[in-house]
Chains A and B, each alone.
Chain A
Amino acid sequence: AQSVAQPEDQVNVAEGNPLTVKCTYSVSGNPYLFWYVQYPNRGLQFLLKYITGDNLVKGSYGFEAEFNKSQTSFHLKKPSALVSDSALYFCAYGGATNKLIFGTGTLLAVQP
């Protein structure tokens, strides 16, 4: 079965330090992979997607993610964290005509 895993419930990082939020996938065929961010009581905001092409994908608000086929990973990264980056982050898998399958989410807490 297709699945996406986010192994960390919470990630803590100091402001100005680099951050990584992990995601691994288990899918057949070529994956469409997405990262979304959710602030309290809000919908999902799109950060970036990988469909084909370069393995390093650059997205909104300075975030990027690297698609690693051999490790079946799609980790979200940012060189320098901001307090305002504190939110719930979701990795998702989906094809163009398929449903999105979400991970369980990772709460990112950036300390000043």
Chain B
Amino acid sequence: DAGVTQSPTHLIKTRGQQVTLRCSPKSGHDTVSWYQQALGQGPQFIFQYYEEEERQRGNFPDRFSGHQFPNYSSELNVNALLLGDSALYLCASSGWGQGGFYGYTFGSGTRLTVV
């Protein structure tokens, strides 16, 4: 059973460019959340998608946007990149089943470096 898959694993972009990160959730999960983890810090919640809609959003500017597709996979888009956007971006999937709440499963992340 595949877990959460993120692509690409590493990415280098120039200030002002745009980037798209991708996430495929664990089988059976229908909710996808995105987190930003700066070096030496804990992950910070960006937003969560369920039923192809943004359900919750953290304290991130509108430059950060996302999308969820009918197969539950998701994209994170960041426009007008800043040096401070350099971080590890983590995707987490979650869902409910007969046993209750599955919990959150994280992918290995995408390391974004903005130069």
Complex alpha-carbon distance, A103 and B44, angstroms: 10
Complex alpha-carbon distance, A90 and B44, angstroms: 12
A43 and B56 in contact (CB under 8 A), knowing A51-B100, A103-B42? no
Complex alpha-carbon distance, A104 and B42, angstroms: 5
Task: Determine the main DSSP class of B at the interface with A.
Answer: strand
A100 and B101 in contact (CB under 8 A), knowing A42-B108, A42-B109, A45-B106? no
B107 within 8 A of A: yes
Contact among A36, A46, A51 for B101, CB-based, below 8 A: A51
Residues of B within 8 A of A103 (CB): 42
**Count class of interface residues, chain A:** 20 to 34
Q: Tally B residues with Cβ within 8 Å of A.
A: 29
Chain B proximity of A66: nearest CB distance (Å) = 18
Binds B, one of A12-20, A67-75, A78-86, A91-99: A91-99
Contact among A45, A51, A98, A102 for B43, CB-based, below 8 A: A102
Residues of A within 8 A of B44 (CB): 102
Interface pair A34/B43, CB less than 8 Å apart: no
A41 within 8 A of B: yes
A36 and B106 in contact (CB under 8 A), knowing A41-B111, A51-B100, A96-B101? yes
Task: Determine the main DSSP class of A at the interface with B.
Answer: loop
Interface pair B42/A46, CB less than 8 Å apart: no
Interface pair B96/A96, CB less than 8 Å apart: yes
Residues of A within 8 A of B106 (CB): 36, 43-46
A98 and B56 in contact (CB under 8 A), knowing A43-B90, A103-B42? yes
- Find the A residue at minimum CB distance from B104: A100
Interface pair B101/A99, CB less than 8 Å apart: no
Interface pair A94/B107, CB less than 8 Å apart: no
**Extra pairs beyond A97-B56, A102-B44 (15, CB < 8 Å):** A43-B4, A43-B88, A43-B90, A43-B107, A44-B92, A44-B106, A45-B106, A51-B100, A90-B42, A96-B96, A98-B56, A99-B58, A102-B43, A103-B42, A104-B42
Interface residues of B (CB under 8 A from A): 4, 6, 33, 35, 41-45, 48, 50, 55-56, 58, 88, 90, 92, 94, 96, 100-101, 103-109, 111
